[in-house]
A and B are shown apart, each in its own frame.
Chain A
Amino acid sequence: SQQGEEDPQALSIQEGENATMNCSYKTSINNLQWYRQNSGRGLVHLILIRSNEREKHSGRLRVTLDTSKKSSSLLITASRAADTASYFCATDPFYGNNRLAFGKGNQVVVIP
Chain B
Amino acid sequence: NAGVTQTPKFQVLKTGQSMTLQCAQDMNHEYMSWYRQDPGMGLRLIHYSVGAGITDQGEVPNGYNVSRSTTEDFPLRLLSAAPSQTSVYFCASSSQRGRMNTEAFFGQGTRLTVV
Contact = CB atoms under 8 A, between A and B. Distances in A.
B74 interface: no
A97 B32 CA distance: 10
Given A33-B104, A41-B108, A100 B42 contact: no
Contacts of A30: 100-101
A45 B90 contact: no
Interface residues of B, number: 29
B94 A98 contact: yes
A100 B33 CA distance: 9
B27 interface: no
Q: Contact size class for A?
A: 20 to 34
A36 to B, nearest CB: 11
B109 A41 contact: yes
B42 A97 contact: no
A97 B33 CA distance: 11
Interface stretch (B14-22, B43-51, B65-73, B77-85): B43-51
A88 B108 contact: no
Contacts of B43: 43, 88, 90, 102
Contact of B42 (A92, A99, A103): A103
Nearest to B91: A42
Contacts of B109: 41-42
Given A42-B90, A98-B94, A104 B103 contact: no
Contact of A97 (B41, B50, B92, B105): B50
Interface of A: 1-2, 4, 30-31, 33, 35, 41-45, 48, 50, 88, 90, 92, 96-105
Interface of B: 4, 31, 33, 35, 40-45, 48, 50, 58-59, 90, 92, 94-96, 100-109
17 contacts: A35-B106, A42-B4, A42-B109, A43-B92, A43-B106, A48-B102, A90-B104, A92-B101, A97-B31, A97-B48, A98-B31, A98-B95, A100-B45, A100-B92, A100-B94, A101-B45, A104-B40
